[in-house]
Amino acid sequence: MAMCPRIELNNGISMPALGFGTFAIPSTQAAEAVRTALMTGYRLIDTAASYNNETEVGQGILRSGIAREDLFVTTKLRIADFGYDEALRAFDTSIGKLGLDYLDLYLLHWPVPTEFEQTLAAYEAAEKLLADGHVRAIGVSNFNARHLDALLARSHVVPAVNQIELNPLFSQRALRDANALHGIVTESWSPIGGEKNVSRVLQNAHIVELATKHKKTAVQIVLRWHLQQGLVVIPRSINPKHIAGNFDVFDFELSSTDMAAINALNVDERGGPDPETFDLATYNALVATRAKEVENAAPSDSGSANPVPRVHA
């Protein structure tokens, strides 16, 4: 299998262009999924405090036996922990759960536009963690252009990465341009559509046609589309066949006509929350909804297989 390319960040370090997402992977399955991904060749692992699986992600990393310096591990600060002291404490908790002594990339999970001072204080804490060598790079997630401008006006370190929802139905051209203008790498979450739109993306006739043409799967076509635009991409799966197939994307190329056909699929439609209105109430509502979903999905005789709600925040 060909090597995964790396993308250079604005502080001179580099990260793998393709990584493994862990949102909503039940704690009972997370360690094995991460170990499988690492044995397949993935070296970038993306998690978050709010996914409630940092401990299991850490166990998967440990079980893989792969040297720490060969890995690139990202986690994210929950908005519930925004504020300077709160953020520093939350970082210690995350890194303790992961079983690591440093992190490669620490992201603010969402901006909170209605409490932007708290967002700024959290970012200041991330700057401190960077200065003290606890993290190799810091960044943000779900920041729109105006959130970036407001952050840049009041901070010292330009974020290395902005991780945003991005897939063929929601291609975020303007925000990618804003990121690039500031030297910020764009990382795509829900890159194949996420829970809401995965079937819509993978069953799209144009994508299926390209898959047939290139003798690849629809997911592989979509992942190539991300990679060929210089995006970092972090598909998630608990299926070993999917995990392997999603990493087997370095031996073919989409033409500019193929790329244009996928670009034309954009309908500016989000699957996740809108960063403009994100706040603690939205977060708490998501936790409640997610908890109900988990309860409904739980096997009746053995309790929930996935007892802790995981949310996008």
Ligand X SMILES: NC(=O)c1ccc[n+]([C@@H]2O[C@H](COP(=O)([O-])OP(=O)(O)OC[C@H]3O[C@@H](n4cnc5c(N)ncnc54)[C@H](OP(=O)(O)O)[C@@H]3O)[C@@H](O)[C@H]2O)c1
CB of 46 to ligand X, least distance (A): 4
CA gap 112, 50 in Å, rounded:
15
Q: Are strands 44-46 and 185-189 parallel, antiparallel or unpaired?
A: unpaired
For helices 145-153 and 116-131, the axis angle rounded to 10 degrees is: 60
Q: How far is the CB of 307 from ligand X (least distance, A)?
A: 19
Of the candidates 51, 106, 123, 283, the residue annotated as catalytic is 51
Residue 233 one-letter amino acid: V
Closest CB to ligand X belongs to which residue? 21
Alpha carbons 132 and 147: distance in angstroms, whole number: 26
Nearer to ligand X, 156 or 212 (CB): 212
How many CA atoms within 13 Å lie on the side-chain side of 170?
A: 20
Measured from the CB atom, the residue of 12 and 97 that comes closer to ligand X is 97
Q: Of 109 and 147, which has the nearer Cβ to ligand X?
A: 109
CA distance 303 to 290: 16
- CA pair distance 277, 109, nearest whole angstrom: 14
Query: Smallest distance from the beta carbon of 101 to ligand X, in angstroms?
Result: 22
User: Please, which residue, 19 or 83, has the CB nearer to ligand X?
Assistant: 19
Which two structure tokens, joined as six digits, stand for 304?
């929930």
CB atoms within 10 A of CB 101: 9
Q: Which is nearer to ligand X, 22 or 64 (CB)?
A: 22
Indicate the angle between helix axes 240-247 and 27-40, nearest 10 degrees: 40
Binding residues vs ligand X (CB under 6 A): 21-23, 46, 109, 141-142, 163, 189-195, 198, 217, 219, 234-239, 242, 245-246, 272, 312
Measured from the CB atom, the residue of 39 and 156 that comes closer to ligand X is 39
Minimum distance from residue 103 beta carbon to ligand X (Å): 15
* CA atoms of 259 and 154, how far apart (whole Å): 38
The helix or strand, by DSSP H or E, that contains position 20, with its residue range, turns out to be strand 19-21
User: Shortest Cβ distance from residue 244 to ligand X (Å)?
Assistant: 9
- Active-site residue, 51 included: yes
Query: Under DSSP, is residue 39 helix (H, G, I), strand (E, B) or coil?
Result: helix
CA distance 313 to 298: 23
State the minimum distance, in angstroms, from the CB of residue 6 to ligand X.
Answer: 19
Query: Quick one: which of 16, 45, 42 has its CA closest to 30?
Result: 45
Catalytic residues: 51
